[in-house]
A and B are shown apart, each in its own frame.
Chain A
Amino acid sequence: MKKISTDLIVIGAGPGGMAAALKASEMGIKNILLVDRLEELGGILQQCIHNGFGLQKFEKDLTGPEYADHYINLIKKTNIEVLLHSMAIEITKDKKVILSNNIDGLIEVSAKAIVLAMGCRERTRQQVSIPGTRPAGIFTAGVAQRFVNIEGYMPGKSVVVVGSGDIGMIMARRMTLEGAKVHAVTEILPYAGGLTRNIVQCLEDYQIPLHLNHNVINICGKDRVTGVKIAKIDSNGDPTNETFDIECDTLLFSVGLIPENELSRMVPLDINPVTGGPYIDDTYHTGNDGIFICGNAAFVNDLADYVSLEGEIAGEAAAKYALYGNRPNSRIPTIAGDNVRFIVPNFITRQDQVTLYVRVTEPITDVRVISTDGIVNLKKQIVKPSEMVEIKLDSDKLKKISQLKELKIDVKKNG
């Protein structure tokens, strides 16, 4: 087995991994290895041909491939070593990674620091337990996106989208533009999973109905999907007798994303059951010294822009760890309080600046996002599960927080 050693290995070359490798390179780290199982850099960005990327980070409205191109060009100017078509299949707590590809076979990489940037996977029909037959014509929205945008195949002509995640709505528009009939998007919850922008520009623009409080309760068809039965959902989340049928040949599932953490479990890293990613501090350092994680592998983000920002933080911290090998020993836990599904990062260590992200449990209007001690106190006209609340902490606030036992964040209705 080929053996190499490096200062830093970054696993995954999407918006998080590319940003992490670049930042580490800026920090003066000489040997950086950036690996990806795909044939090119960019990860999922390459199939996200729609615009809306970069608005936060570059104040430009870019498509996914254009956003990726920005980072790819910067990487080309550095001496970051890129290894494509290579899959990380094993990792140990003392920071050895086994890679596999069809040229070298197995490669053992010993690293001083690791940034995990594996991204996330889509939940499937099985994970939302939709009954019915098992015919052809059932895809996750992201798989259909790859077929249409990269491979050049249409998965079907007559489509129902299950779940109102952003990729589902974007694919409803994409399939419509390419000549398919998209009959409906169903959403089990009383509110959409994705951004309002996508409800308007992907569904309303093309008169595609969004059925809130509705779910597919049966899939029909022997060889190919022939139709679905859709039921109205009651306030307990159970299907009612109010149903209707739609004939279709294709179903696309957009029912949530799961951080991809098989490698993290091998270390093993302690996984937060709510986010599906490892517990992290505000430098995206996991519980294992020298192993960092960023982007959708850590927790599912709303925007690629956030993923890259986290990648930069993780890349900088991993570079420092590779150079000096230490980590801060005092840390303040962050706690999810009322109406908060999760808050990340899980620990505060930094004194300069920290951004916390809060995902709420349901949409609420006219709220305050507050900490028990009053250090955090933000007024919001509305909070929604589809859009994380950002809490920016400056050095003054962090100084006060460093005196606390924990920072608990509640989202409370005003009045």
Chain B
Amino acid sequence: MSKKMDERKFTCIMCPLGCEVTVKSDDAGRIIELIGANCPKGEKYIKEEFSTPKRVLTTTVAVERSEISRLPVRTSDFIPKDKIFDCMTVLSKAKVKAPVKISDIVIENILGLGVDVVATRALK
């Protein structure tokens, strides 16, 4: 029986070249072949993008008693890419009261991911 093989395309962002890389994998999600990555740094990035893509999430939350109505926030570290919308759902219900200091924790250990959501500016 022939094994099912998956093919996914990625654009490398490690340098301005922006190589188009194709990743071939087996049905267990193991990489069989990596085509088009031209350097070790790119190869490492693509492997990570394939197996565990991570992003920093930046957004805003509602803020009361402040001169502006939204407080900008970020995750203190990377979160898995597929948790972005789950985090947005949590943050859409969050509300903080001014004053706020930069780096104040808005939500501790969001969704148990081991990452905090912190304020990225001060508000009086």
A residues adjacent to B (C-beta < 8 A): 39, 46, 49-51, 61, 63, 65-66, 68-69, 148-152, 174, 177-178, 196-197, 199-201, 204-205, 381-382, 384, 387
- B24 adjacent to chain A (CB < 8 Å): no
Give the contacts of B48-97 with A (CB-CB under 8 A).
Answer: 55-56, 58-60, 62, 67-70, 72, 74, 81, 84-85, 88
Q: A46-B121, A49-B59, A66-B121 are in contact. Are A150 and B68 (CB under 8 A)?
A: yes
- B16 adjacent to chain A (CB < 8 Å): yes
CB closest residue in chain A, given B57: A177
A384–B55 Cα gap in the complex (Å)?
26
Q: Is the CB of B70 within 8 A of A63?
A: no
Q: Is the CB of B69 within 8 A of A151?
A: yes
- B32 adjacent to chain A (CB < 8 Å): no
- B25 adjacent to chain A (CB < 8 Å): no
Q: A69-B122, A177-B88, A196-B11 are in contact. Are A49 and B72 (CB under 8 A)?
A: yes
**Shortest distance from the beta carbon of A54 to any chain B beta carbon, whole Å:** 12
Residues of B within 8 A of A69 (CB): 102, 120-122
Q: Is the CB of B70 within 8 A of A149?
A: yes
B residues adjacent to A (C-beta < 8 A): 11, 13, 16-18, 55-56, 58-60, 62, 67-70, 72, 74, 81, 84-85, 88, 102, 120-122
Residues of A within 8 A of B69 (CB): 150-152
A68–B56 Cα gap in the complex (Å)?
19
Q: Is the CB of B60 within 8 A of A149?
A: yes
Q: Is the CB of B18 within 8 A of A63?
A: no
Q: A149-B70, A152-B70 are in contact. Are A63 and B58 (CB under 8 A)?
A: yes
Q: Is the CB of A382 within 8 A of B11?
A: no
| Given pairs A66-B102, A69-B102, A201-B13, 15 additional interface contacts (CB within 8 A) | A46-B121, A49-B60, A50-B58, A51-B56, A51-B58, A65-B72, A65-B102, A65-B121, A66-B120, A66-B121, A149-B60, A150-B69, A178-B59, A196-B16, A381-B16
Residues of B within 8 A of A201 (CB): 13, 55
Q: A149-B72, A150-B70, A152-B62 are in contact. Are A49 and B16 (CB under 8 A)?
A: no
Q: A63-B74, A66-B120, A149-B70 are in contact. Are A382 and B17 (CB under 8 A)?
A: yes
Q: Is the CB of B121 within 8 A of A205?
A: no
CB closest residue in chain B, given A383: B16
Q: Is the CB of B13 within 8 A of A200?
A: yes
Residues of B within 8 A of A204 (CB): 11
A200–B88 Cα gap in the complex (Å)?
20
Residue from A68, A174, A381 within 8 A of B17 (CB atoms): A381
Q: Is the CB of A49 within 8 A of B13?
A: no
